[in-house]
Amino acid sequence: MKYYLFAAALFPALADAHPHGTVEQQLHLSLGRDMAELTWIIVPPAEQAGHLLAHLDLDGDSALDEAERAAFAQALVDATLLSVNGEEVALAESEAIVPDATAISQDAGRLEMTARSNLVLPTESFATLSVEVSYSEFSEDWFIQPFYFENLADGASPRIERAPNALTVSIPAVAR
């Protein structure tokens, strides 16, 4: 019994030592028949600024250089799986907006990164596009929101299926 009481007393301290779950994480998935654009947005609250900075500052100098920003952007890409009809699609990083260490420590630390991929979606049959994010350094939860480019907005609406940290979009054939 005393071990249970010890564990119960210790658990809140462990939860506070590495707080997660308060960081807002979204992935905006913009789709067209010929392109996908993914934008990861991470917005930590003020109390998470130190944890976020410590994670990004690989050399511990309290500054974020281009190599550290690039490493973070690559980690997001590496932790994201985009596939069309079960085949993985490569992502090319195109833009990373990672504020400097001062901005992060002053609660102005919105992180944003965009990557794009060329797609070839079939027009005669359904296509299934899936995305899954496994990056969990700041929070376990990702909200994935789809948007559609004009060449996908015409015709029947895509069907969306949500799962934790994942989204599947079934894209109908082009009506003739």
Residues 29-58 have pLDDT tens digits of 999 999 999 999 998 887 777 788 888 888
| pLDDT band (50, 70, 90) for residue 116 | very high
- The confidence score (pLDDT) of residue 23 equals 84
- The confidence score (pLDDT) of residue 107 equals 63
| Whether pLDDT at 98 is above 70 | yes
Q: Which residues of 149-176 are buried (b: 16+ CB within 10 A; e: fewer)?
A: eeebeeeeebeeeeeebbbbbebeebee
Q: Residues with Cβ < 8 Å from 148, sequence gap 6 or more?
A: 30, 31, 32, 158
Higher pLDDT, 170 or 2: 170
Gyration radius (Cα) of the chain, Å: 20
- The confidence score (pLDDT) of residue 60 equals 86
For 51, phi then psi, to 5°, come to -65, -45
| Whether pLDDT at 7 is above 80 | no
* Predicted structure pTM score: 0.81
| pLDDT band (50, 70, 90) for residue 18 | very low
Beta-sheet strands, E only, within 69-158: 80-84, 87-88, 92-97, 111-118, 127-133, 143-148
Q: Give the relative orientation of helices 49-56 and 66-78 as an angle to the nearest 10 degrees.
A: 100
